[in-house]
Structure 1
């Protein structure tokens, strides 16, 4: 019996699934590499504007248009 566990979103820096929201809205920290990230409203790759749900723990961190990360390292 194999079970696939989803630990969490992948960190843009180390690619490990340990990205977690911090106490600040729209901010994330990787538990593995300790890099910090901020959720942006504009995609750095395609320039598409995205809606940010900062208070949600299920906030989308990928661009709906091109699929790139909406997180920028701080």
Structure 2
């Protein structure tokens, strides 16, 4: 099976690589490729739509339900 057919992880909003990993803090992520840190927000930075967020790393939704943008902001 090639790596293109496997899902390696969440895509980083900064570099676009699939190496975004949750940290020990709830709602925080770090890209192990570009080393930028991100925080999951309840208000979409693109459209301003408010949504309920689940901060559990295994069930977190990082896409806005309204516009499809990323709910992650760089910290």
TM-score w.r.t. the length of structure 1 is 0.92
In the other structure, the counterpart of 1:28 is 29
Runs of 4+ in 1 over 2 A off after TM superposition: none
In the other structure, the counterpart of 2:54 is 53
Q: Secondary structure at the match of 1:29?
A: strand
In the other structure, the counterpart of 1:8 is 9
C-alpha separation in 1, matches of 2:45 and 2:15? 19
Tell me the number of residue pairs that the alignment of Structure 1 and Structure 2 aligns: 74
C-alpha separation in 2, matches of 1:2 and 1:60? 26
Give the superposition deviation at 1:2: 5.9
TM-score w.r.t. the length of structure 2 is 0.91
C-alpha separation in 2, matches of 1:9 and 1:47? 22
C-alpha separation in 1, matches of 2:62 and 2:17? 15
C-alpha separation in 2, matches of 1:6 and 1:56? 16
Q: Unaligned regions of 5+ residues in structure 2, if any?
A: none
Q: Unaligned regions of 5+ residues in structure 1, if any?
A: none
